[in-house]
Amino acid sequence: MSVASELKQKRAALAERLEQLEREQTDVQELMKALDRVILSYEPDYQASTLAGTEHVGRSRRVKPLSSEVKAAMSGVNKRQTVLEVLREAGEPISAADCAAKFAAKLDVPCEPANISEIAHRLSAVLTQLTHAGRVRQSGKFDGRKVLWEVAA
């Protein structure tokens, strides 16, 4: 085997290792962001420290843009009021995904998985706001992971 071939193999192995490290770094950063969000729920004035070479964006995430259909349907809609209506009409605690599906039905948006995912992402922030306002509460968990939501009063 020639020296050039050996060097190419080593370079390929290093490139693969670099990709693995980048995936691990992304995973660790997501875990840190999740921990920061939990800490913020207990200490609202908590300031997360940044790591050298990484940018911490606080509670905001890079969010892919809404599809034009979802964006058009959600613009001009009072999301807080509509979420409260959906929760009242459900009559029982529901998950954010179920809430998003019912929200989409109210707005006549096709209940495709991508649309529901986009809407659920936006509604999770609304649910958190309503929780802080005392209008909505978490009511246990479904499958040990998914939080169920209901009207507080």
Convert the pLDDT of each residue in 113-131 to its tens digit.
888 888 888 888 888 899 9
- Domain chopping of the chain, boundaries: 1-62, 68-151
For residue 153, is pLDDT > 80?
no
| C-alpha distances in Å from residue 99, one per residue of 13, 52, 66, 92 | 46, 39, 18, 11
Distance CA 153, CA 66 (A): 32
pTM above 0.85, yes or no: no
Q: What percent of the chain has pLDDT over 70?
A: 84
How far is C-alpha 141 from the chain's CA centre?
A: 17
AA identity, residue 43 = E
Stretch 129-143: mean pLDDT: 84
For residue 62, is pLDDT > 80?
no
CB-based burial of residue 58 (10 Å sphere; 0-12 exposed, 13-18 middle, 19+ buried)?
A: exposed
pLDDT at 14: 85
pLDDT at 88: 92
For residue 89, is pLDDT > 90?
yes
**Is the distance from CB of 120 to CB of 89 less than 8 angstroms?**
no
Confidence of residue 81 (pLDDT cuts 50, 70, 90): very high
CATH topology of domain 68-151: Arc Repressor Mutant, subunit A (1.10.10)
Helix ranges (DSSP H) in the chain? 3-42, 68-74, 79-90, 96-106, 113-132
- As a whole number, the mean pLDDT across the chain is 80
Distance CA 44, CA 138 (A): 19
For residue 64, is pLDDT > 60?
no
Cross-strand partners of 146: 142
Hey, what's the torsion of the CAs at 103, 107, 108, 111, to 10 degrees?
Answer: -30
